Amino acid sequence: MSLHCLVGVYILITAGGLMMLVGFFGCCGAVRESQCLLGSFFACLLIIFAAEVAAGVFGFLNKDTLNCCGTAESQSTQCPDRTHDTKIIGMIFSMVLCCAIRNSREVI
């Protein structure tokens, strides 16, 4: 495996670990109804999403030299497409919940 391929893999592993930690803070923000925690959750999700998109673009641009999805003998192996629907939905729901908390506090 080449060094370029390992860089993309390490970025994705790190993003997954951060996602677990950020998910914990998102749960705490939802339970405590904290706008600050929910806003931080949204910002962290956005940063992690951008890092994963950057890693995907990096991998796509260097796909001829990386051989990440197959060995040098089997160049025809296709890399599976990955979607980031879960993070986008998480960002949407965190902002909706944050706005709902703000609106409910203004009413009180």
- Convert the pLDDT of each residue in 8-48 to its tens digit: 778 778 877 877 888 888 888 888 888 888 888 888 888 87
- Give 68-75 contacts, CB < 8 A, sequence gap 24+: 68/1, 68/5, 68/8, 68/9
pTM of structure = 0.57
Residue 58 lies in a domain: yes
Residue by residue, what is the 3-state secondary structure of 71-104? CCCCCCCCCCCCCCHHHHHHHHHHHHHHHHHHHH
Say how far apart CA 13 and CA 35 lie, in whole Å.
28
Does some domain include residue 12? Answer: yes
Contacts of 87 (CB under 8 A, 6+ apart): 19, 45, 48, 49, 52
Q: What is the pLDDT of residues 47-63, one digit of tens each?
A: 878 877 887 888 788 77
Domains of the chain: total: 1
Q: Let me know if residue 15 belongs to a domain.
A: yes
Do the domain assignments include residue 75? no
* 47 within domain boundaries: yes
Query: Looking at the domain assignment, is residue 85 inside a domain?
Result: yes
Tell whether 55 is covered by a domain: yes
Dihedral in degrees, nearest 10, Cα atoms 37, 42, 44, 46: -170
Domain range spanning residue 85? 3-70+80-107
- Whose CA is closest to 101, among 19, 45, 42? 42
State residue 76's pLDDT score: 46
CA 107 to chain centre: 34
Type of residue numbered 105: R
